[in-house]
Amino acid sequence: MDTTPDLSRRRWLRGGLGTDRPAQSLPWAVPWSQFADRCTRCGDCVRACPEHIIINADGGFPAIDFARGECTFCGDCANACSEPLFRSRDELPWQQHATFGEPCLTRRGVHCRSCEDGCEPAAIRFRPRLGAVAQPELNRDACNGCGGCVAACPVGAIEVVKEEQA
Ligand code: SF4
Ligand code: SF4
Ligand code: SF4
């Protein structure tokens, strides 16, 4: 039995995008252990995405890069895949939400609402604060994890994290 560690798979789990977080999986994707076993890395999903947000991450496995845009949940990636790697499109595509990090301009007293404009489900609100710049707050129930806010942020302060990472 080959016991050589598969470094590319480990890197994918660490992020594949230069971060310590797991790489962003595709909508409706089965859990990673099953995905890694069956994905042939053919690139059909990458080519199928009309938003061009699926990249070949480390090891050639597909991952979403929200810096390129948002997921519209069109399902084209899942439909293009010839392997049993995607759940029913009747189910939730994923359980994840946006988080606002330290680089957010409002934490330095700078007015900014770009993420609000990028959020189609209107899950981001700015509550007025007495004598201070309003900061973004997330309505988690409204956030569908589409990532539209990520590219909208001028300083890269937003990450989309899975529920279990939050
Ligand atoms: S559901 Fe559509 S927009 Fe979202 S990653 Fe798949 S192909 Fe791209
Ligand atoms: S991930 Fe999508 S729904 Fe959630 S806050 Fe960002 S833009 Fe809005
Ligand atoms: S777009 Fe970025 S910098 Fe601006 S308020 Fe939203 S998280 Fe902060």
CATH class of 7-80: alpha beta
pLDDT tens for each residue of 72-94: 999 999 999 999 999 999 999 99
pLDDT tens for each residue of 52-74: 999 999 889 999 999 999 999 99
Burial class (CB in 10 A: 0-12, 13-18, 19+), 51: middle
Would you tell me which CATH number, out of the four given (3.30.70.20, 3.40.50.300, 1.20.120.530, 3.20.20.80), belongs to the domain 96-165? 3.30.70.20
pTM of the entire predicted model = 0.87
Give the ligand 2 atom nearest the CA of 122. Answer: 8
Q: What pLDDT does residue 14 have?
A: 47
Q: What pLDDT does residue 104 have?
A: 97
Give, using CA atoms, the residue closest to atom 2 of ligand 1: 74
Ligand number with the minimum distance to the CA of 73: 1
Burial class (CB in 10 A: 0-12, 13-18, 19+), 74: middle
Domain with CATH 3.30.70.20 in the chain: 96-165
In this predicted structure, the answer to whether residue 18 has a pLDDT above a threshold of 80 is no
CA of 16 to the centre of ligand 3 (A): 24
